[in-house]
Amino acid sequence: MKPSISIVALLAFLLIGYPEAHADSAPSMQEKHNTNITMSFKEPEKYDERNLVVKFAPDAEPALKRKILQGISAQELDSTINGFTLVSVPSGSDLTALSRKLLKNRAVELVEPNYEIKSTFKPTDPAFGKQWYLNKISMPASWDITKGTAGVTVAVVDGGFSMVHPDLKGRFVHPYNAVTGETKLPSGDHATHVSGIIGASMNRIGTAGIAPSVKIMPVNVFLGDAADSYWVADGIRYAVDSGADIINLSLTTDVYSSVLDHAVKYAASKGVVVVAAAGNSHSSKKFYPAALDSVIGVSAVDSKDQLAPFSNYGSYIDFSAPGVKIYSTISQGRYAMMDGTSMASPVVSGVSALILSKNPFLKPAETMQILKKSAVDLGTKERDNKFGYGRVDAYNALQNTPSPMSTVSLSAKTFIEDGKNQLDISFSAHKNTYVSLYVKDGKGRIVKKLIWNKAWSGGKVSYHWNGKLDTGAYAPSGTYKIYAKASNKKHKLYKTASVMIQDDILPAVSFSKSSLVFSPAVKTKLDIPFTLNKNANVTAAVYDSQGKLIRTLHEKTAFTGGTQLIAWDGKDGGNKRVKDGIYKLTVSADDQEGRPGEKNSMAIAVDTAAPAATIAASSKLFKMDGKTKLNAKGTIKETARVTVKVIDTTGTAVKTLVSVQSWKTGTSTIAWDGKTAKNTFAKEGNYQFVLEATDAAGNKRTAKSASFKVDDIR
């Protein structure tokens, strides 16, 4: 896969032991580069004589890197591309000698020049034809399917851009100047022309882009007519990190660059499609980055599907596209014809943008397969070195692009909710996505999450819904919208379907407990949880053990379905606290249609009496020898939570022997070894055991033993 800017191959690689190697035998991407490779800088116009690109070993510490660079009087300029560092060297330096010196360090894996990159377009008569290539690649029929979406972004890594061109204004996002590190970009014709081919607006003026609704990310890597491999790689890195889905590289060089190779591999690892021009030298020699793996290399054809006389060809060509007399946008609001593989590359990028607009979840390999399956075969049957797999065709490509997700299918448009029926919901989603399925009410609120961010391997998603909401209650009658969502890290799509719910459920009240205990002397109110199976009007009342009404707490009060609370302060209708005893809370509900449900009740024991409790030491004298223990017997008359402590004469606890332990009615024995909470022996003096008992209602009783004396006889 290859680009359309011609990066003039700057250096010749000289393999030690192979002295006859020269610039025309630049290593392919598959060759393993190692520290035995040095370089011959015979064509200084092809690289920056003040820079080197150095690849350090992954474990090289920053201090070691600085020491190595100081050894050749070099300074680090940038290291934003993982593993590669751009360095400056003193003016007039012998770069070959410096590279050999650097490679003597085991921490240095590779050194190469900072290659110059040039544009390859060929301007022609602006009056000759208008966008003939759009019919050639079946655009009118394609636009009936999609004109692209703003959710897809194509990065144009190129030269200057006309940011205010009337056909491109509003199309640009996240501009970046790799040369300056700023967002301000110079103006220029080439990148503007490329951008117009991809995404010129359909605004009834000028030209129409192949994907007029996508976003374009303008990335400048040129200073005037020159660029270099490091800044192109930096532009690719920026585009990937800024969310580009496709990167167009209408630039080229005839020399392999490790830093460019690294950059396009990084793009591929992040799921970004990279398209590049083959170059305009009418040569079968490999040109980069088009000849790199993971890059779609594009040759140029004319209106008769003949290889353009200037177009490169060879084993690295993946597709061909129109590249002769291409009419598009240029600077200062103008339009012009241009020739070049620089123009063919954005045709493929634009078609790829339409594919991803239809299905944004496709991986680069899947996009590549769609382009292959859809291409118009030219030349010899199947793939050849002139046209690759053929000339791209947008309509065929969109026809072969699978939908990312289907419509939402419901088993019924009206769902009768009776507690037994189920609504069957299904949709299909692309593989390698996360799927969600949820329900929104008439106010747009999510009321039920059926499936939430589930990793999906592709195919049909199904769910059977009984009408219950996240609250646990059944949905009231009304219109609801079912949302299906498919997403990945960059994109998300939705499909919806509406359903009318007819609620035939009778209201029902349930309690999680059959009884509660309450002490109005301890708590100001008792919150009684209950569950309502649907929105309803609730009546709640308290009765005594004889069935006499004590107090009405709610009279047909509207409650929403789900878990709710009823509060009682332990008082009767006359606002007087009730006597201790057993009471009954009865709750009934009528729904919005007036249909009554069955009543349900629970018992409430009102208990304000503290539990009876005593504690006594087994002796009034404790001779503490480090081995003997002093026992105490604690007695309670009802089940309670018990804490037992030893306190001194000031009432300070020196040791907790039992902490909030459940005791049943009866007597329990506790032993103390004389040690404090700090695990030191207590001082001689008088002490007491203290027992605190708290019953189920929260009533508390504190009992103390008679005082006992501690003598230390250790």
**Distance separating alpha carbons of residues 72 and 138, to the nearest angstrom:** 57
Q: Which of 202, 213, 237, 210 is nearest to 151 (CA)?
A: 213
DSSP string covering 686-712: EEEEEEEEE-TT--EEEEEPPPEEEEE
Which of 342, 349, 357, 428 is the catalytic position?
A: 342
Alpha helices, DSSP H only, in 83-164?
95-103, 132-136, 139-143
Radius of gyration of the chain from Cα atoms? 40
The encoded tokens of residue 541 equal 């009342």
Contact at 8 Å (CB) between 330 and 200?
no
DSSP sequence for 316-365: T--EEEE-SSEEEE-STT-EEEEESHHHHHHHHHHHHHHHHHH-TT--HH
Dmax over CA atoms of the chain, in Å, equals: 119
CA torsion 347-353-357-358 (nearest 10°) is 60
Q: What are the φ and ψ backbone dihedral angles of 147, each rounded to 5 degrees?
A: -105, 15
Q: Name the active-site residue from 165, 190, 193, 430.
A: 190
Is 190 one of the catalytic residues? yes
Residues 6+ apart with CB under 8 A from 499: 410, 412, 413, 414, 415, 423, 479, 480, 481, 482
Where does 375-524 have alpha helices with state H? 394-399
Specify whether 424 is catalytic.
Answer: no
For residue 664, give the DSSP letter.
Answer: -
83/60 Cα distance (integer angstroms): 10
Catalytic-labelled residue, pool 158, 245, 261, 695: 158
Q: Which of 270, 269, 263, 268 is nearest to 243 (CA)?
A: 270
Half-sphere exposure of 72 (CA within 13 A, CB side): 28
Length of the chain: 714
Q: Are 463 and 409 in contact (CB under 8 A)?
A: no
Active-site residue set = 158, 190, 342
